[in-house]
A = this chain, B = another copy of it.
Amino acid sequence: MSPKITGDLLRQLRQAMKNCKYFAEPIQAYIIPSGDAHQSEYIAPCDCRREFICGFNGSAGTAIVTEQYAAMWTDGRYFLQATQQMDNNWTLMKMGLKETPSQEDWLITVLPENSKVGVDPWIYAADQWKNMSTALTSAGHSLVAVQENLIDAVWTNRPKRPSTQLRTLGLEYTGVSWQDKITALRAKMTERKLSWFVATALDEIAWLFNLRGADIEYNPVFFAYTVVGMNTIRLFIDPNRLSDPALRDHLQLDSPSKPELSIQTFPYELVSSELQAICAALGPKDKMWICDKASCALTQVIPKSHRSPIPYTPLCLAKAVKNATEIQGMKMAHIKDAVALCELFAWLEKEIPKGTVTEISAADKAEEFRSQQKDFVGLSFPTISSVGPNGAIIHYRPLPETNRTLTENEVYLIDSGAQYVDGTTDVTRTVHFGTPSAFEKECFTYVLKGHIAVSAAVFPNGTKGHLLDSFARAALWESGLDYLHGTGHGVGCFLNVHEGPCGISYKTFADEPLEAGMIVSDEPGYYEDGSFGIRLENVVLVVPTKPKYNYRNRGSLTFEPLTLVPIQVKMMDTELLTQKERDWVNDYHRKCREVVGAELERQGRKEALEWLIRESQPIV
């Protein structure tokens, strides 16, 4: 992987920063966040501005360019990748290390007095704006909104915003009609005495209307905004999409059942002016709910006195707690996904000795097997297929220039998932096709112990996920090891593979209490730079459980694995496992054999079934 050459681009950007065409005065620094106007994690090519300017294409990172410096902040998953993708015009700022300054502190250190720091307010969240602005102001600088994006100004041939065909989802997939979701939303609004709600997150809008798109690779969403009042629903979307009769029928555009469920559509670009018009007509007590992660530009359209900012929208919370139909769909999707992975591993065992399987071809094969399953739509994120040292690059994506061959000598880590119409999957397995070293086994076993400690944890109702994070690390910590990423994220149902507001992380923000019906990943790891990477990931469902006692009638929760793919026993140092942990592995493998075995049998996939039976034998 050779770094992107950025000297010329930075020169042009710095000229734009001084050009009064864009802002009345020269600006001394320009912030380039990685998001789009909807705070999406995965973004469309037209929104990949941070990648365009610095070359780094990971999912998280913020670049800041000053007259003299160019720096890019990202987290531990991406340190190696960012080093490889950025040329030496750029300084990598390793977030999470003690010595790394925050963006604010760094700006304050490097900027001349009374500097102006610019940012595009459409891709900067209102809460980010507030924090950054406060910090800069207190140091004598100021944060300014530059309406035209300066990266777009220097980006020739920037791609167009996508507008893909929309898919309607019936009750057999969603469990609840969009009309009922609107009604439930309005009930929440009434409860909180709010008259309006502004939705900006693409997955929330897709979930609300039981629609899916393909505007952003891997994420079945579409570009839109929604503003819901007590008697009105406004949907901002490319009008070209609305000619599809199935869609018109689904949204009842031509014959709404009730006036308050009639959807008015507007072009996507008009959200700001229409919101302005709504605000102009607000009564003195009318309040609008908007997520504090919504764009600064849209948030500031709402006068402060009418604004009721919230860390999570009611849609975000409602979407996170899956209903029975969604849970059933997620279970089906995970069984199909396990079938594909059993096939993959059986195939790999046969093919690897021939020396012809590479990271890329293995990833392609995994996709091929998945695509044979019913209702397959696409991958849920770029497959991380990594051999040996590449496994230590936490969000590695194989490229022709880094592509390694799978052998019997190195650890292989594959983190992959798919979108099916009935659910979204995300699974990581780490395997060895020869004989793993004692150290590899030791690390794998610590990771496994951490995985089990979370998966088998019993905890009271109302517990936040961050309180479980250390369970995943305790065995690693005891040996002086750790991993620099969170332990789990929320998973959508045929939606984004990463979703809020729950998760399992040492980071305590964005963390609503776990509730029965929530679905998260459990994925501790260990990464030995330059040598190997280990990660074990299951998607798990939060379920009620009844331990011996029930203190203060609070009730208890635990997790039920939805992912049902054997964990390689060969990689375990079973001596290091407690009896309880061995029992967990055996129970898990029995369930894999029963549930996935039946499906493999049904589909007549014999070799995969043999592999599954062999790999799910109990350990003693």
Interface residues of A (CB under 8 A from B): 98, 138, 140, 285, 308, 457-460, 462, 466-471, 473-474, 477-482, 506, 508, 546-552, 554, 556, 578
Contacts and interface: CB of A to CB of B under 8 A. Distances in A.
A171 to B, nearest CB: 31
A167 to B, nearest CB: 38
A439 B467 CA distance: 27
Contacts of A506: 467
B140 A479 contact: no
Looking at chain A's contact residues, the main secondary structure is: loop
A466 B508 contact: yes
Given A140-B285, A285-B140, A308-B138, A556 B466 contact: no
Given A462-B98, A467-B506, A478 B308 contact: no
Contacts of A467: 466, 469-470, 506
B481 A549 contact: yes
Given A467-B506, A479-B547, A479-B548, 19 more contacts: A140-B285, A457-B477, A458-B480, A459-B470, A460-B477, A466-B466, A466-B508, A467-B469, A467-B470, A470-B471, A477-B556, A479-B549, A480-B546, A480-B547, A480-B551, A480-B556, A482-B552, A508-B508, A578-B578
Contacts of A556: 477, 480
A358 to B, nearest CB: 30
A550 B481 CA distance: 6
Given A468-B470, A471-B470, A506-B467, A478 B547 contact: yes
Contact of A458 (B462, B478, B551): B478
A467 B508 CA distance: 10
B481 A551 contact: yes
B482 A551 contact: yes
Contacts of A550: 480
Contacts of A468: 470
A285 B462 CA distance: 46
A546 B285 CA distance: 61
B459 A477 contact: yes
Kindly list the 3 A-B residue pairs having the minimum CB-CB distance in the complex, ordered from nearest. A480-B547, A480-B549, A508-B508
A481 B460 CA distance: 8
Contacts of A474: 457, 471
A554 B476 CA distance: 13
Q: Which of A466, A506, A549, A554 has the most CB of B within 10 A?
A: A549
Contacts of A140: 285
A84 B468 CA distance: 35
Nearest to A549: B480
Contacts of A552: 482
Nearest to A468: B470
A260 to B, nearest CB: 27
Given A467-B469, A474-B471, A508-B466, A480 B548 contact: yes
20 contacts: A98-B462, A458-B477, A458-B478, A459-B470, A459-B473, A459-B477, A460-B477, A466-B467, A466-B508, A467-B469, A467-B470, A467-B506, A468-B470, A471-B474, A479-B548, A479-B549, A480-B556, A481-B551, A482-B554, A578-B578
